């Protein structure tokens, strides 16, 4: 007979949910995980992982086309095999999904393939008719793509799922939304040959990033042939014989654009429906569950983590919250998550990565508090490893409190930005000052030397600028 009473039940098997289940099991709790679709959630199956697989295929394709520059003959005629790229992407996601299933079994987590809703204190009703009881319940139900009334998703208007498994490369493509997801799809489809237009309602692409970095990203995208339109919105759309015609409004200037396909990447909404929240004290604001610093909701014994609990909508934030939440439940001493110490990465070409405050936000903060900031910059054109790799375009930017030496923010644009940002993440977590960073020995030749040089630059000591 299947067990139905547990110390903890987790609803949702994404990077927040399955990590919560593992950590709870490690701490000796009896744990169940309820997942209505695929273990690993959207991130593993239809988000983070398969997009990175496709983007890596684009990187290999780009390298082959540029092989002659590196003294490699015969690779310049490389062309994309879209079916093989997609098949590899799905295989990667499938392998990791099997890995999560193995981890559940290894850690003794009981998995229920079902949907669940709150059914009173410490109880969950599953759609298969079962009822689970638990001292603690964690909601990790994630989020889904925001729908736009002007662009209903269908055969020619895609959300991320359709964009990950295309049957063919569209000749022309409109990407609506120039945040991380939109930028990544724009990069991939441009690399494989589509004519791409990328639009956003804000004044710049990647609007959550430092303005200088966003401007450099836009310049790099346009150099690749991506048409970028900012302060631009879609007001309506209609299907044509072979594609989609969209009406655009760019600061009052109206125009029409006809493309083969459209990708909608205009943000996300939390999966808060059908969870039984209406009969509880759980509060929802703007489609996200309200929590405190320890992931507790207004309902005793009910917690929420990850995308359903609000920004930043990042898998690693969800996993960190999972551990924090479970350890708090277990009575361990934990600290609320600090959003300024969560790195953000966009895996476009080039990549963009950041942590902490932008320069503008840091200046605003300094003005309010009567402080001052120092800003350091170092371009990859001065880095030996970057030049050797043929990837010498990009910038590392650091922002410090002038008096205390605290690292307030760090911003990188470069094809390897996502791998480099963790250096600053470790520094921020350890509360390293500019002096600590300047006295750190960085291996040569490495791209990470740019991290060092940017810090030196902030204090007038750059060696290679």
Q: Among residues of the chain, what percentage have pLDDT more than 90?
A: 97
> Exposure of 367 by Cβ count < 10 A (0-12 exposed, 13-18 middle, 19+ buried)?
exposed
307 annotated binding-site participant: yes
Query: Hey, where are the domains in the chain?
Result: 5-145+269-339, 157-266, 350-459
Binding site annotation covers 52? yes
Residue 172 has pLDDT above 60, yes or no: yes
Mean pLDDT of 178-198: 97
- pLDDT at residue number 1: 56
pLDDT in tens, 39-60: 999 999 999 999 999 999 999 9
| Average pLDDT score over residue span 368-382 | 96
**What are 78-91's pLDDT values in tens digits?**
999 999 999 999 99
180 is in an annotated binding site: yes
Q: Is 421 annotated as a binding residue?
A: no
Per-chain mean pLDDT for the chain: 96
pLDDT tens digits for 276-294? 999 899 999 999 999 999 9
**How confident is the model at residue 65, as a pLDDT?**
92
**pLDDT at residue 76, as a whole number:** 73
- Cβ atoms 221, 228 nearer than 8 A: yes
Mind listing the pLDDT tens digit for each residue in 95-139?
Answer: 999 999 999 999 999 999 999 999 999 999 999 999 999 999 999
The verdict on whether residue 179 carries a ligand-binding annotation is yes
Measured CA to CA, the distance from residue 351 to residue 180 in angstroms comes to: 10
What is the tens place of the pLDDT at every residue in 288-314?
A: 999 999 999 999 999 999 999 999 999
Dmax over Cα atoms in the chain, in whole Å?
70
Q: Which fold has domain 5-145+269-339?
A: FAD/NAD(P)-binding domain (3.50.50)
Instruction: Give the model's confidence band at 75: pLDDT under 50 very low, under 70 low, under 90 confident, else very high.
Output: confident
User: Residues with catalytic annotation?
Assistant: 444
Answer yes or no: is 332 a known binding residue: no
Q: Is 417 flagged in the annotation as binding?
A: no
Q: Is 184 annotated as a binding residue?
A: yes
Which residues 6+ apart lie within 8 Å of 340 measured at CB? Answer: 355, 356, 357, 409, 428
> Do the domains 5-145+269-339 and 350-459 sit in the same CATH topology, yes or no?
no
Are residues 204 and 218 in contact, defined by beta-carbon separation less than 8 angstroms? Answer: yes
Q: Among 187-191, 359-363, 448-452, 460-464, where is mean pLDDT lowest?
A: 460-464
Q: Taking the model in full, what pTM does it have?
A: 0.95
Class of domain 157-266: alpha beta
Q: What local confidence, expressed as pLDDT, does residue 465 receive?
A: 84
Distance in angstroms (rounded) separating the CA atoms of residues 456 and 460? 6
Is 80 exceeded by the pLDDT of residue 390? yes
* CATH dotted code for 350-459: 3.30.390.30
pLDDT tens digits along 243-278? 999 999 999 999 999 999 999 999 999 999 999 999
């Amino acid at each position: 007979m299947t067990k139905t009473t547990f110390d903890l039940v987790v609803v949702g098997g994404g990077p927040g949910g399955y990590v919560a289940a593992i950590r709870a099991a490690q701490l000796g709790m009896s744990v169940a995980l309820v997942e209505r679709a695929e273990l690993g959630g959207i991130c593993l199956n239809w988000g983070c992982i398969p997009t990175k697989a496709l983007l890596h295929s684009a990187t290999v394709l780009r390298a082959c086309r540029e092989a002659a520059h590196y003294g490699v003959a015969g690779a310049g005629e490389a062309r994309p095999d879209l079916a093989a790229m997609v098949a590899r992407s799905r295989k990667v996601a499938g392998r990791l999904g099997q890995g999560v299933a193995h981890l559940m079994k290894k850690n003794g987590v009981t998995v229920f393939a079902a949907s669940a809703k709150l059914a009173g204190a410490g109880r969950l009703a599953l759609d298969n008719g079962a009822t689970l009881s638990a001292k603690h319940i964690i909601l990790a139900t994630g989020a889904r793509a925001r729908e736009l009334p002007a662009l209903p998703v269908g055969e020619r208007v895609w959300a991320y799922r359709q964009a990950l498994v295309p049957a063919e490369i569209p000749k022309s493509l409109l990407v609506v939304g120039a945040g991380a997801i939109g930028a990544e799809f724009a990069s991939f489809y441009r690399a494989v040959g589509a004519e791409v237009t990328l639009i956003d309602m804000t004044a710049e692409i990647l609007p959550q990033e430092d303005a200088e970095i966003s401007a450099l990203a836009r310049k790099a995208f346009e150099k690749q042939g991506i048409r970028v339109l900012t302060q631009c919105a879609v007001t309506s759309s209609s299907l044509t014989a072979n594609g989609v015609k969209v009406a655009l409004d760019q600061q009052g200037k109206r125009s029409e654009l006809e493309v083969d396909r459209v990708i909608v990447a205009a943000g996300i909404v939390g999966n808060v429906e059908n969870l039984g929240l209406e009969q509880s004290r759980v509060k929802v604001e703007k489609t996200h569950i309200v929590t405190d610093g320890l992931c507790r909701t207004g309902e005793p014994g009910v917690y929420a983590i990850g995308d359903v609990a609000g920004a930043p909508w990042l898998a690693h934030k969800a996993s960190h919250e999972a551990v924090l939440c479970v350890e708090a439940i277990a009575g361990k001493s934990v600290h609320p998550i600090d959003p300024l110490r969560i790195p953000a990465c966009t895996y476009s070409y080039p990549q963009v990565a950041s942590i902490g405050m932008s320069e503008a936000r840091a200046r605003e903060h300094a003005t309010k508090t009567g402080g001052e900031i120092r800003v350091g910059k170092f371009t990859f054109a001065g880095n030996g490893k970057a030049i050797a790799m043929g990837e010498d375009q990009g910038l590392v930017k650091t922002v410090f409190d002038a008096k205390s030496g605290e690292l307030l923010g760090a911003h990188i644009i470069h094809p390897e930005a996502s791998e480099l940002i963790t250096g600053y993440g470790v520094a921020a977590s350890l509360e390293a000052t500019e002096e600590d960073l300047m006295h750190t020995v960085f291996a040569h030749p490495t791209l990470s030397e740019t991290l060092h040089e940017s810090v030196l630059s902030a204090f007038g000591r750059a060696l290679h600028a």
